[in-house]
Structure 1
């Protein structure tokens, strides 16, 4: 019976090719616009570490007081050197790390090659197990390396390819800013989007991953300056990188792993106790105003998902709705034009369910054709989003099997939903009236 309905639908569509083409175009363009916008929104709003994000927390300490707070009362979104190192010394979380952005120069062993300018972060050794960072060779450094300010480094597989041809470089030496560092680990392919571990500096997204990670205190000792954002509520009393460390300027990101609600409560209590200690020491002259957010809440607080992607998705969904409304009108006109045919079928005993099946099958065929067109247009849309969105965000949009399947599904389901009212109207045709008029 389904094959019979398919044959009837195909004949009907062939009888009015212009109307059929209009419906297919409407569905194709509407679905393509919505799916292209969805591919971008999906990429920027996804959980970058879903198996662990609820256990990762970002603490904030109000070291500026009321005069330095944002209008909504928020403390600074980064830490100064004093607070970050104090929290690391106390070590109240299961795993934790302070970190700041660096951009050192790598001097190749081959004297004929030019130095490489790379990006990276100065972190503590717990950074790698805390974030489940994947390694191709070796691993991160130990806590004793942090304490001893060891000259060690973790490099990316991309940098390993440039310096050592992609071979296992663990144990080899790399010259960074004129000093030799021993490679202890080579990362596997790892460039999470958004870059959740340092949203303040990255803005959330970056097409290039970090190429080098150095021990935090080692980088401080050798004077490797901060290459990220630095916000100050007052001019530092001393100049240079040392002056930055002695100031109240915030430039250090911080992340801690807390396994359960009890650990979260204890860490929050510790932050409040730390603030009270600073009040007693005369450093803070205001009430505690700390924050402790898990990773999803932190990303939302920092507005990592760009507002223009949300707007574009809403606009695209609105366009799809307009296309569906137009399709409803076209299907209604098409179906009601066949009132005499419907009247004859009903007079011969065809139930309303058969009329529903016939016309919904026809709507489904329109949706399938519109979906195929939508696939082609979606591919073109994903390839061209860089024209309207920042490069770092546009590069995240991708055409994969799930998006292709969703495009077809949305096209078919949306068209069949659009066909419900026209089909209902068609099924209400009175056979006696049509037979009498004919």
Structure 2
């Protein structure tokens, strides 16, 4: 029996790998007070490290790795990525300066760029049209689980062992997973074998041509990018809560971790399952559902910034911010993949990841750090509050583009490139 004959098993394995990827990626956030102190980092340096450094590697490499996944073995592309990011996660624990940490995190991002484009393409192939949103939603539960566990580990194991030892341990775990995965063969019966091994630039040109001819996918990608501004805000959440809301660093790390796990998982699950079930019954299908989610969650996210710390409204708004971005993954990816030709699906996913990392992660994190530093220097006591409020507004503006995508979706017939569900 081939490993592909057990799609649920594949989904669980990819979810576990995705969890580990986001633990490794977000452990920097969970240890932000300790790392900024030990390496003497300013807010701007930390924002650069958490944002721009990541995008310079992950964003560009996501396109390259996506094109490799369309042209070669997706399992081996993912396995190589796991080995790279795990070794460099361990190297992060040895960093003694800002420059050394920049290099280590740059290479962690290079490895992690291999996972999402290849995994999403594989899941869409295995679960087909009517269950694609659900499968993708389950896979992206790895984000809240990874983020949440990174904060929980920082507040528990990390508090006892220190951030350096925690990075070393995570690197060892990743290598133990990546090596066996190299043995899995990725045969694709539904893909033209003449596409295997095609040159990089023609593959990119084919993906861009597909986007130029499909404004619905373009609008979905723009909305998907904007809603990720909530993740830029997450990078500074712990610093904001400690410095401007008076929380204890270890205690709030545990709270963020637990709430991120619960409400991020709910978001990914609800977004994937309900978007699949309502796709044929709701105006605008997947895109219309994503727009509705933003309309419901957006006001709560704004209220969170002004609510009394520890109040019910404070925690409801915080949880809405954890819920919303993950809830858009299932409907967004199902729509993007469903309206994209098979031969360029991973490449288009890589392009979406590039745009997310350039605009939401790199520019967003750098802007928050730089603007809050300048405001604090000028005497403001709420520089992070105002900066994070701006990211919330940008995330909510994604509703406009999902609305345009919903309008375009109603004009599309069911895509011929996706087979009906069994």
How high is the TM-score relative to the length of structure 1?
A: 0.20
How high is the TM-score relative to the length of structure 2?
A: 0.20
Computing the radius of gyration over CA atoms, which structure comes out larger, 1 or 2? 1
Indicate the structure with greater strand content: 1
Indicate the structure with greater helix content: 2
